[in-house]
Amino acid sequence: MRIVRKRWRDLQRAWPAGLCPRCGMELYPGDLDWVLGGRRLCGACAAAWLAEEAERLAAGRKGAVE
Ligand SMILES: [Zn+2]
């Protein structure tokens, strides 16, 4: 058996903490990311998520959906 070197350098030793569920971008510990609604989102998606959520909340006031 041979030891196979990792293809990526060890700039980031940590495994990805997860993938952004919206865009699929890898999230690393220490990166700027956001936990919104129980999910970790990258910065770009967090902004989009907030906008959507604000819309949903505004719409929800009429129907009182729970
Ligand atoms: Zn994202």
Cα separation values, 3 from 6, 10, Å: 9, 16
Assess if residue 54 is contained within a domain.
yes
Whole-number Å distance, alpha carbon 11 to ligand 1 midpoint, is 21
Assess if residue 37 is contained within a domain.
yes
pTM of the model: 0.52
Assess if residue 46 is contained within a domain.
yes
Cα separation of 21 and 38, whole Å?
11
Cα separation of 49 and 34, whole Å?
10
Q: In this predicted model, what pLDDT tens digit does every residue of 1-57 receive, in sequence order? A: 777 666 655 555 666 667 888 899 888 777 666 777 777 788 888 899 889 989 999
If one compares 61 and 45, the residue with the highest pLDDT of the two is: 45
Assess if residue 28 is contained within a domain.
yes
Assess if residue 66 is contained within a domain.
no
Whole-number Å distance, alpha carbon 66 to ligand 1 midpoint, is 26
Counting the structural domains of the chain, the total is: 1
Assess if residue 47 is contained within a domain.
yes
Whole-number Å distance, alpha carbon 37 to ligand 1 midpoint, is 14
26 lies in which domain range? 18-58
Which residues partner with 33 through β-bridges?
42
